[in-house]
Structure 1
């Protein structure tokens, strides 16, 4: 089982630059203490996740702060970008980091984000698949066709050339089984979360992912499944609850209006009672929140479900000093799974 860190800070903080101090400090901790990767999101036009409008910028900053840990986009919202700029940006980071870049691609779901490319929203899944093919081609040094400033067809490739000849790719899947199957068919890894699915729901979805890989001619035993989980490991369950409950509820509340298009039945019932219920679900069954012993048991469940990597979301609002201290206990959880 691999352990990584993932970031999705709410950009309504009183001291916004301090969030990036937490990013740098925790990434250096991950780099020194055997963690696999840091995952950096892409979010636009909303405080929830708004600290990260461009994961390549954050990864470039971390490339100079770290030496070993992988630098991963989690995720590039593919329909909002030309694959040319995606590969240019991340090949630059691949050079800065001497070959430590991986990418997850996502279709996007919030219509408001698509003010950047409104014509692509309806067909965003098809645009993502087209982007995937071009990203792979460009990373390998092949050319793609575009129309230049004089209306002529031109074939172009990107520079700088990346350090890595091949790019490890994930597809971000929410809870729909078709997404897992599509990732398997395409030979991609999977990045998923427990936002609106349970651990037991993952079992058939991962099984379908493996079957799709096999049908498409990929080795069904390969392909990695990464799960994002909110994380704070403390001395005891009660101590963790006391530290995280208020900031976690505030964090959840900041995202409610993002649900309205995709999950209107939840938004219609939003309020303190729903948020309390959501917190209890996370705390009891869907997050690494609690003592080392509780979190080890939870990771055991994830491993049995077919998860290969835990991506710990740590910047949901708990005080930075406490969050950094909690990383040491997360390290204890990780050591329980070191072969």
Structure 2
């Protein structure tokens, strides 16, 4: 098992300013590199406390790249529906150069109705836009004099500059929330995978990963697929302290997620079957149940090691676990203590 550090800002300006959040994120990323973490990653969201402090993961990761030298930089994920492939491919290639070839390029479809409305993109197009964006970016990174005539984009002939450092292109990750079909398509295409266990049942996630691994194996590729799985993690030598922090910041996450997914109360899309249930799922959230189901990692180092052993048993020991150790408005000092403790007492002993 490898470990990375994930950043998903669920914060209001009253709790912590954007400038303070970015400064603390960079400090924690630099520390994570010194402690041996494999990657740092962040999201793309807009217009709400649910991720809205990171509308541009490339900009934040470029700031991290300037302060680090070895840790991988992962977009988790660029939202394909809201970006043009020429601009997206160029900006990601620039980050690959700024970091001397440390980019892992994660792409997602997006899932919030309000964001699609703000960008004036029909949700019914999200799957097709995602596929076209991904294929166009790979073509731009890999080829020269690229001419593209698709359903949504037309350009060329163009040779992308800058060229990415990693050849033929940076590793591509596909973010999937609940769809085994999407996971299988990623495996068949030779893309790596990002999943979030908090939004899928254990059985559902196992089916997703099985479909992905089977599709990858059937493709005949000699290399191994990479799977990133994301958890929030609350760690302390004092169990009560860890669980108190977990409940506080998980409820903060749920409160802001409720506002972000509220659009699903009136939205329906065959591109997102079952997503209309998000509103009710958030309303029925139970912290104790989430902890018991290992939707969140929390407790003493020994308890978190046991939780990770269970995760490996359910989903495989070939995972990269991306932990969010500084959620919400957690004070920097508390996040730093947890990060050091995770490296010393969890990561070193798993």
TM-score by length of 1: 0.90
Q: Which moved more, 1:44-53 or 1:10-19?
A: 10-19
- Residue 5 of structure 2 is matched in structure 1 by 5
> How far 1:73 sits from its partner (Å)?
0.4
User: Structure 1 residue aligned with 2:300, among 291, 295, 304?
Assistant: 291
Cα offset, 1:259, TM superposition: 2.8
Question: 1 CA distance for matches of 2:71 and 2:89?
Answer: 20
Partner of 1:194: 197
User: Contact (CA 8 Å) 1:173, 1:192: kept in 2 or not?
Assistant: yes
Contact 1:120 1:127 in 2 (8 A): no
Question: How far 1:200 sits from its partner (Å)?
Answer: 4.6
| Pair 1:322 & 2:316 matched | no
Question: Matched residue pairs, number?
Answer: 328
The residue matched to 2:234 in structure 1 has which SS?
strand
Listed as ranges, the matches of 1:1-339 within 5 Å are: 1-13=1-13, 14-16=15-17, 17-115=19-117, 117-145=119-147, 154-165=156-167, 166-219=169-222, 222-260=224-262, 261=264, 263-268=275-280, 271=283, 274-275=284-285, 277=286, 279-284=287-292, 285-304=294-313, 305-306=315-316, 307-317=318-328, 318-331=330-343, 332-337=345-350
Report how far residue 204 of structure 1 moved. Answer: 2.8
1:289 Cα deviation from its structure 2 partner: 1.3
Instruction: Tell me how far 1:9 sits from its aligned partner.
Output: 0.8
Whether the 8 Å contact between 1:257 and 1:267 is mirrored in structure 2 is no
SS of equivalent to 1:172 = strand
Shift of residue 163 of structure 1? 1.4
* Stretches of structure 2 lacking an aligned partner (at least 5 in a row): 265-273
Distance 1:270 1:336 in 2: 34
The SS at the match of 1:329 is helix
Q: 1:197 to 1:269 in 2, by over 3 A?
A: closer
3-state SS, counterpart of residue 138 of structure 2: helix
Distance in 2, Cα, partners of 1:270 & 1:172: 21
Secondary structure class of the residue paired with 1:286: coil
Q: What is the CA distance between 1:63 and its match in structure 2?
A: 0.8
RMSD, aligned α-carbons: 2.1
Query: Retained in 1: the 8 A contact 2:81–2:121?
Result: no
TM-score by length of 2: 0.87
Q: Is the 8 A contact 1:134 1:144 kept in 2?
A: no
Retained in 1: the 8 A contact 2:145–2:158?
yes
CA distance in 2, matches of 1:153, 1:201: 39
Does the 8 Å contact 2:198/2:296 carry over to 1? no
Unaligned runs of 5+ in 1: none
Cα shift readout 1:165-195 (whole Å, capped 9, x = no counterpart): 1310111011222122111111111100112
